[in-house]
Amino acid sequence: MQRQEDQQPKLPGGQASGQRNGQAVTRAGQGTGNAGDGVPLPAGEKVFRLPGAVVAWWAWVVFAVAGAADVAFSGWNHTAAEIVALLVLITGIMYACALRPRVIAGSGGITVQNPLRDHQVPWGSVTGVDLKESVRVHCARDPGAKRGKIIHCWALYAQRRSRLKAEFARAGDRRRLPLRSYGSGEGGSAEAQKLARQGTAEIMAAQLDELAKDAGHRGAAAGPRVVTWAWQPAAVIALPAVAAVLVVTVFR
């Protein structure tokens, strides 16, 4: 299996904005890789997700393993069984809510993987991508519908403080910098600095919107939005939940 490389957000002139701006994994070359949950990752696809969620997942895994080991060495009893059942349940929830969510941009369209449902939208049916509390994918109106569908991406979100800080910085730049400066060499540098101050989710939303516009200019075909339930994360939550209830209420 070929190595996945980090696709960092780019500043004007092709300069990478740095690892802190987030993680977008791209697969180069031929063959298939793994996009998570056993889903093939063909060549050319890009996966957008925030690194904080992945860090939270692995931090919880370390904590859960340490907790289970401590319980095992302390002696097995009913209380220990309850603790282990709770750890397994929370691990399933963390997997569904932190590790699994991502946005996959492929040659045919965009796939939004949320904790329990997946949305697949052809590029021709994507009318735009923007950021509010989370990155939103705007879809063309279905026949008979009054308005287009908006898909909220669980994996790409922006904290309120970060959004307000970015908006304040942009307002300050508009006050301080003359518009003509953006056409000069200094303007390019100022614009790069302004982009570098943007939040991770804001940069990724702009990248996805640009991909959608490029696909539209190439005449990408429209099609129906496909929504499917993700049974694997549902199972890793439901089964430990049932087990935890049985341990707490029945096997006492």
Which has the closest alpha carbon to 224: 150, 122, 123, 126?
A: 122
Question: Do the beta carbons of residue 41 and residue 35 sit within 8 Å?
Answer: yes
pLDDT digits (tens, 9 = 90+) for 123-137: 999 999 999 889 999
Six-digit token string for 90: 């929370």
Six-digit token string for 124: 């021709």
pLDDT of residue 234: 96
- Measured in whole angstroms, the distance separating CA 37 from the mean position of its chain's CA atoms is 14
Which has the closest alpha carbon to 135: 204, 50, 193, 192?
A: 204
Question: Do the beta carbons of residue 229 and residue 116 sit within 8 Å?
Answer: yes
Domain residue spans of the chain: 5-121+221-249, 168-198
CA distance 21 to 26: 15
pLDDT of residue 41: 42
Average pLDDT taken over every residue of the chain: 77
pLDDT digits (tens, 9 = 90+) for 155-190: 998 865 444 454 544 444 444 444 343 344 444 555
Cα Rg of the chain, angstroms:
22
DSSP the chain: -PPPEE-PPBPTTS-B--GGG-EEEE--SSSEEE-STT-EEETT-EEEE-HHHHHHHHHHHHHHHHHHHHHHHH--SHHHHHHHHHHHHHHHHHIIIIIS-EEEE-SSEEEEE-SSEEEEEEGGGEEEEEESSEEEEEEPPPTT-SS--EEEEEEEE--HHHHHHHHHHHHHHHHHS-GGGGGSHHHHHHHHHHHHTS-HHHHHHHHHHHHHHHHHHTTPPP---EEEE-HHHHHHHHHHHHHHHHHHHT--
pLDDT of residue 226: 94
Six-digit token string for 99: 């590790």
The pLDDT tens digits along the chain (252 residues) read: 444 444 444 433 444 433 334 444 444 333 333 333 334 444 578 999 999 999 999 999 999 999 999 998 988 888 899 999 999 999 999 999 999 999 999 989 999 999 999 999 999 999 999 998 899 999 998 877 788 899 999 999 886 544 445 454 444 444 444 434 334 444 455 555 555 556 888 999 999 999 999 999 999 999 999 999 999 999 999 999 999 999 888 766
pLDDT of residue 85: 94
pLDDT of residue 193: 55
Q: Is 71 left (phi over 0), alpha (psi -120 to 50) or beta?
A: alpha
CA distance 152 to 168: 24
